[in-house]
Amino acid sequence: MLYKNLSSYLKEKYGGRMKKICIDGGFTCPNRDGTLGIGGCIYCSERGSGEHIDASVSIKDQVQRALANAADNDKCIAYFQNFTNTYAPISVLKARYDAALIDSRIRILAIGTRPDCIDGDIADLIASYKDRVDVWVELGLQTASDKTAEIINRGYKTEKYLEACSILHSRGIPTVTHIMIGLPGEGDRELEETLDTLDLSGTWGVKIHSVYVAKGTRLGKMCLEGSYTPISREDYVRRAAYAISRLPEKVIHRITGDCPKELLLAPEWNTDKNGVIRDINERLSAILSE
């Protein structure tokens, strides 16, 4: 095995693969509702990367539909995926998390959010679920560069990410950090800074995303105007493989991102997910054999 991947971790801990139930929790984002900004980060689509989720039904119904296709002995992850799933009063958060935990086959509660939407009370609520299921929190860092953060309209400083990790880890809650390779103006130096920050944070897991350009986003407008050029496949493979080699103790949850084909503006290579993963593994194998 070239690196610690999520599939192997789940197999070792739970005895096999797990079905992921992606949930639209009905949340928004402070970077969308006017609290910090409007429109979200420049790469964020209208559904906040939740295009494949049927948000027309309740959380309970979303989970029940997924479980209807699961076997009696399946184990599942309830993953609150799109937008900011800790951005509401505690009572609302509890009601929505409870609505997902309706079956004993659900063994993990995973919550995607922004670092600036984590505080002690929210962490205490999430920690309260540890006697029922395993939990982890996914934090959208994307980059450690505060300069890039301004360009992509992230809305918070990197110190907020480190603070959120500290709060969550003090309650025994593992974190999974999302990073993006290919953001505007970023190169090897910025990636190195981001990897150093992951080491400093003590994050348990990492999701590595390629930057794809979705139609209707501000990044899409920049791409069409020529002010942003998507990262090449070769450069992404090189940087992603290097990043994985720098994170030997982290559980790598994914190594590329994929956009729905009907929304993808660029780059075209993003549609070849399996091929990109193969190329990264080949490059990583070469790095580790040096």
Q: Could you report the per-residue pLDDT of 186-205, keeping only the tens digit for each?
A: 999 999 999 999 999 999 99
Residue reference for tokens 């958060």:
93
Q: Which of the following CATH numbers is that of domain 6-289: 3.30.540.10, 3.40.50.300, 3.20.20.70, 3.40.50.9100?
A: 3.20.20.70
Contact between 82 and 50 (Cβ < 8 Å): yes
- For 248, phi then psi, to 5°, come to -65, -25
Q: What's the pTM?
A: 0.95
User: Quick one: DSSP state of residue 19?
Assistant: E
Q: pLDDT per residue over 99-127, tens digit each?
A: 999 999 999 999 999 999 999 999 999 99
How many angstroms separate the CA atoms of 211 and 183, rounded? 6
What residue spans define the domains of the chain? 6-289
* Banded model confidence at residue 234, pLDDT cuts 50, 70, 90: very high
